């Protein structure tokens, strides 16, 4: 099938699919006219990629996951390890964001938010304040 159809079935833009080919993730055969020709298996792999990416895995992690997907002798422990590592990473990101959020919210709460220039947010950013929030 053509790239447009594959794109619809995998829920990925054609541009992205070409990119995945360029980096060696999914390499379709070519029709006589030079068009990419995607097999069912190619589409499966594309769907696998879109799902993996949407779950936050990097391209390199997707590469690994794809190889595990292909490996019928894989150990599920290997897959689980990748997933759990990602969970830990996400937890760290969430904690970081939470901390930023709290700092910003505290600063904003202390700001009058009126027409006057006094602003604890600016003061904090300028480092002139006694750390209203860290």
Residue with tokens 């019928």: 72
Residue number, 14 or 79, with CB nearest to a copy of itself: 79
Q: How far is the CB of 62 from DNA (least distance, A)?
A: 8
HSE at residue 101, side-chain half, CA atoms within 13 A, is 6
Tell me which residues in 75-94 interact with a copy of itself (CB under 8 A).
75-77, 79-81, 83-84, 86-87, 90-91, 93-94
User: Residue 52: which of 44, 9, 22, 119 has the closest Cα?
Assistant: 44
Q: How far is the CB of 89 from DNA (least distance, A)?
A: 12
Q: How far is the CB of 133 from DNA (least distance, A)?
A: 21
Counting beta carbons within 10 angstroms of the beta carbon of residue 86, is it exposed (0 to 12), middle (13 to 18) or buried (19 or more)? Answer: middle
Tell me the window of 14-22, 23-31, 32-40, 114-122 that interacts with a copy of itself (CB under 8 A).
Answer: 114-122
25, 60 contact by CB (below 8 A)? no
Instruction: Return residues touching DNA (CB under 7 A).
Output: 2-5, 7, 13-16, 18-19, 32-36, 53, 58-60
């Amino acid at each position: 099938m053509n790239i447009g159809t594959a794109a619809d079935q995998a829920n990925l833009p054609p541009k992205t699919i070409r990119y995945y080919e360029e980096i060696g993730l999914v390499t379709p055969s070519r029709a006589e006219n030079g068009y990419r020709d995607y097999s069912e298996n190619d589409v499966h792999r594309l769907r696998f990629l879109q799902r993996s990416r949407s779950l936050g895995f990097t391209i390199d992690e997707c590469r690994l996951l794809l190889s595990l997907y292909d490996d019928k002798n894989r150990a599920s422990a290997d897959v689980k390890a990748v997933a759990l590592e990602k969970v830990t990473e996400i937890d760290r990101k969430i904690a970081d964001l939470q901390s930023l959020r709290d700092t910003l919210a505290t600063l904003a709460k202390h700001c009058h938010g009126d027409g006057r220039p006094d602003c604890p947010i600016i003061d904090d950013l300028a480092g002139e304040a006694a750390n209203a929030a860290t």
